[in-house]
Structure 1
Amino acid sequence: MSNIINTQKTFKINNINHIYFIGIGGSGMGGIAKILFKQGYQISGSDLTSNLITKDLISLGITIYFKQEIKNITNNIDLIIRSSAIKNNNPELIIAKKLNIMVISRGQMLAELMRFYYGISITGTHGKTTTTAMIYEIYKLSGLDPTFINGGILKNTKEYAYLGSSKYFITEADESDRSFLYLKPIINIITNIENEHLDFYNNNIEILKKNFLKFCKKIPFYGSIIICIDNVHNFDLIKNYLFNCKCNLITYGFHKNADIQLYNYKQNGYKSQFYILEKKNNLSLKINLNIPGYHNALNATAAYTVSKFNNINEKIILKSLENFNGIIRRFDILGIIFPKKQIKYKQNIIVINDYGHHPTEINLTIETARKIWPNRNLIMIFQPHRYSRTKNLLNYFVQILSKVDKLFLLQVYSAGENFIKNADSRYLFKKIKKLGIILPKLIYFTDYYSISNYILSKLKGNEIVIFQGAGDINKISSLLIK
């Protein structure tokens, strides 16, 4: 079968021309908007804040409102796509229903985009964005010209979405709101499953796992499930359910029973290298990465595995992985503050931005930083993301955040949630202080400049400063560098 097709560029949904996005700058939303715009639809939307994605969409000629209000919704809008973060009391959503404008979710629209393609989805609690980007760059380098939608922006090309000319469609599949169940890919990767977004699953991880299993059952017999065997919940799926699946099942990981096994991992500063063994073909290869961390070695192995399943040459895969420079806001080195006369630091200060907001992700960030800079003090500015997550994982947060040398706690980024007692930054501060390993500092300021200046005044030099969180904390880190 040829890889080049034209149906996705010409196919149009009947009677749909103007599509409006509520929350257009959100993760995954902007990518869908960009693909639909490239396919010829009229696109507009709204969001509460400006970011790199909204700026890119505006540069294309897309109208974006930064205040969500009734007057934005007009009779010439044929379809509205809502972010999962949009509540039912949103004024744009309310007026849309009064005007009988069809409203669908981000996941439903993503499924329709994938419908006419050879879909490759990447699921899991952590690593989706990086793995998706790695796969996209491999396929692009190989000449397959895939369509691609991602939740993060590539450092190499500044892309987060791309409309290709081939049959391949590569995208993250989000389990957080069960929207991944709309998709019907040919290949699915499961990076890991953890206690995250359990408010959608009756606070029961077994229900979450059953939904992953339900998604896996959508894979056709000629497709593949590629799953990391190192994760305990993935291992449970393999052992109890997936061992007799009708499609191709390929496991990867450091585990001795993995079909694609990683070994001899080494980290040299910011770079890393490791070997993989393809047991089926008795093939051993060395992979060099331009980014650090065991977790990125696993992400790269998942990307390698799906690429080999589609018969991409090993040399192209290895070259692409070696040239991969990561994702913006994923262990992203923003810059270095050098000693100056007016600021008498002992040595320079390295500033890093990281999107991780789950304790497991934060722990990986800390471990990676310790390996790269073992002789520097590690300072973390942490912005908790959602009251529900802080409540559900409180003790885990306390344990992991106590691993840094100095901790600054910002106020919780609610992401639209209502306040929950004993789940705010003050309570987290008290629990960490009570543990007694470190003495955290709770920041009450809410404006970016005051926070940035306060943090700057507490730095001494020879430090790694990590801004950690998925909210608007990146605006503070940008100010600190400036």
Structure 2
Amino acid sequence: MADSIQPQKHIHFIGMGGIGMSALALILAERGHSVSGSDRKLTPAMQALESKALVLFESQLSNNFAQLGVRGIEAPLVVVSTAIPDTNPELIEARRLDLTIWHRSDLLAWLIEQQPAIAVAGSHGKTTTSTVVTTLLATVGEDPTAVIGGVVPCYGSNGHTGSGRLLVAEADESDGSLVKFKASLGIITNLELDHTDHYRNLDDLIETMKTFGRGCERLLINQDDPILKEHFQADACWSVQHFETADYAALPVQLDGDRTIANYYEQGRQVGRITLPLPGLHNLSNVVAAIAACRMEGVPLDALLSALTELRSPGRRFDFRGEWQDRQVVDDYAHHPSEVQATLTMAQLMVQSGRSPLPRTPQRLVAVFQPHRYSRTQEFLNAFAQALLSADALILAPIYGAGEQPIEGINSELLARSIRLIDPNQPVFVASTMQELTGLVKQHSRPDDLILAMGAGDVNSLWERLSEERIGGEASCSPAIAA
């Protein structure tokens, strides 16, 4: 990686529309750098950057660099992510022009080196934990710089240039590039095999995360995670299961559909009781990790406990989109079996407890799940089938390939058959297209349902599809849940 970015250097992002790339572009623009970017279409993330007067291209063509040249921009620093293939015309042209090319992780590593940084890693909960760290620091007046893989509610953005001492970054492990980050404090939320397109096995993932941990000045880990407990040495740990041996802990007293009440401990001693506006045991763990990180950075406990009322989930994490024909629609990024199970457990808690952060307490849970990547579906087929059983009804979208080539025989119908083998009575329906998916949601849901769309692909368009039909004035569909 280059030592630095000169203030006068122009930076061009290939694939700026991604959630991680757009955050970096925003921060560099706010710090006074000249920035441009491209993507295959003008995404919402790119539209949010238009106010920064950036040069945006709605295509990834080789002549984008010539157009920059017309504007007097020569020899820009080019930034790409792992999602950009070697066959990308813009990347091919950048190499032909012998331009300096950085991976997005190189740029984030450079930002992390500029100031004390908290880097949040782990298989699950990274976005929520980094969002909570950011929110707590912002609420107590620390105003951190933030580079997050989701929209932070208190900023309304995935990137923020703060005036405070700290930077908070989400450290994505999917391609192993987080080993470049040299944070002052590293957090690992948990470890579980995923991204099998990159990692050969669990040991490969563990070694990568150990390298990340060794690169941080201090390391904070989740003591409840068996892999972390067995394989990692850390400066501090947290728990939501026990307090005797954890540096920071919160033991739940009450788990409701709209809140969590827990006794909070530090160094084995109860020092308070906390009430979180985020339901679910997994969210309690995320919040305790964030509190622990802030405490390790010297933030007073009283200030943090007062700030807990300001917590909100990041975008696409149990994100309430609106109501359609008396059904409440929620969007969630869950795309791994453990994430799916945690999200469904939280949703069922809302149904069963009669308490919910939604406008109305739902009476039934209809899960709409889109498998993400053929390789992940193949690897975790049985785990997905088991995790999805807790929905009252289940509708499966076609697999979102995310650039992968299809694997013969691996499809949503196979997942449906696996579910029926476990529970023949589980209502499960399979869509062959996204248009058909919308029709199945109409057919197999009813008023007072919670329609929970889960996945990392374009299943998040479900709300827009339903909204268009609502605006079009379609009559309410009749309920038809299959046994």
TM-score, length-scaled by structure 2: 0.88
Residue 289 of structure 1 contacts residue 323 of structure 1 at CA under 8 Å; is this kept in 2? no
Task: Tell me which amino acid in the other structure corresponds to 2:95.
Answer: K
Match of 1:63 in 2: 55
1:438-453 superposed matches below 5 A: 438-447=426-435, 451-453=437-439
Aligned mates of 2:56, 2:410 — CA distance in 1: 34
Match of 1:38 in 2: 30
Q: Which amino acid aligns with 1:362?
A: V
Counterpart residue number, 2:382:
395
Q: Show the counterpart of 1:373.
A: 351
Residue in structure 2 matched with residue 233 of structure 1 by the alignment: 227
Alpha-carbon deviation of 1:17? 1.9
Q: For residues 218-240 of structure 1, what are the alpha-carbon distances to aligned partners after superposition, in whole Å with 9 as ceiling and x for unaligned?
A: 123xxx211111111111124xx
The answer for the alignment partner of 2:240 in structure 1 is 253
What code does the residue aligned with 1:27 have?
I
CA contact (8 A) 2:322 2:330 kept: yes
C-alpha separation between the residues in 2 aligned to 1:384 and 1:351?
A: 19
Same amino acid, percent of matched pairs: 30
Partner of 1:7: none
Deviations 1:34-77 (A, max 9, x none): 11111222211122344432121122222322322212233524
Q: 1:360 is matched with which residue: 335, 338, 346?
A: 338
For residue 384 of structure 2, what is the amino acid of its counterpart? Answer: F
Moved more, 38-47 or 123-132: 38-47
| Aligned match for 2:146, one of 136, 148, 152 | 148
What is the correspondence of 1:264-413 to structure 2 with a 5 Å cutoff?
Answer: 264-279=252-267, 282-338=269-325, 348-374=326-352, 376-413=363-400
* 8 Å CA contact 2:334, 2:455 repeated in 1: yes
| Pair 1:73–1:416, CA change in 2 (3 A) | farther
* Residue identity in the other structure for 1:371: L
Equivalent residue, structure 2, for 1:8: none
Residue deviations 1:104-161 (CA, integer Å, cap 9, x gap)? 1111110011112101100001111111111112212222221111000023431211
* Alpha-carbon distance in 2 for matches of 1:176, 1:212: 11
2:184 is aligned with 1:186: yes
Report how far residue 384 of structure 1 moved: 0.9
Alignment of 1:54 with 2:46, yes or no, is yes
Q: 1:16, 1:79 within 8 Å by CA — same for their partners in 2?
A: no
Deviation at 1:192, TM superposition (A): 0.4
Structure 2: runs of 5+ lacking an equivalent = 353-361, 471-483
Alpha-carbon separation, structure 1, partners of 2:365 and 2:83:
33
Give the counterpart letter for 2:335 in structure 1. H
Decide whether the 8 Å contact of 1:402 with 1:437 is kept in 2: no
Partner amino acid for 1:184?
Answer: K
SS at match of 1:321: helix
Q: CA separation in 1, counterparts of 2:260 and 2:366?
A: 23
**1:374-421 CA distance string (max 9 Å, x none):** 272211111111111111111111111232121111111111111112
Distance in structure 2 (CA, Å) of the matches to 1:172 and 1:14: 25
Superposition map of 1:200-239 within 5 A: 200-202=198-200, 204-220=201-217, 224-238=218-232
Match of residue 478 from structure 2: none
What's the counterpart of residue 169 of structure 1?
167
Three-state SS of the structure 2 residue aligned to 1:28 is: helix
Q: Residue 373 of structure 1: SS of its match in structure 2? A: helix
Deviates more, 1:173-182 or 1:452-461: 452-461
In structure 2, relative to structure 1, the CA distance for the partners of 1:335 and 1:446 (3 Å cut) is closer
Distance 1:116 1:366 in 2: 40
Give the superposition deviation at 1:16. 5.7
Q: What CA distance in whole angstroms lies between the structure 2 residues aligned with 1:366 and 1:51?
A: 29
Question: Could you give the per-residue CA deviations for residues 142-191 of structure 1, whole angstroms, max 9, x where no partner exists?
Answer: 22221111000023431211112233111011111111111100101110
Question: Structure 2 CA distance, aligned partners of 1:287 and 1:323?
Answer: 13
Aligned residue type for 1:67: S
- Listed one character per residue, the Cα deviations across residues 69-98 of structure 1 (whole Å, up to 9, x for unaligned) are 212233524111111111111111111111
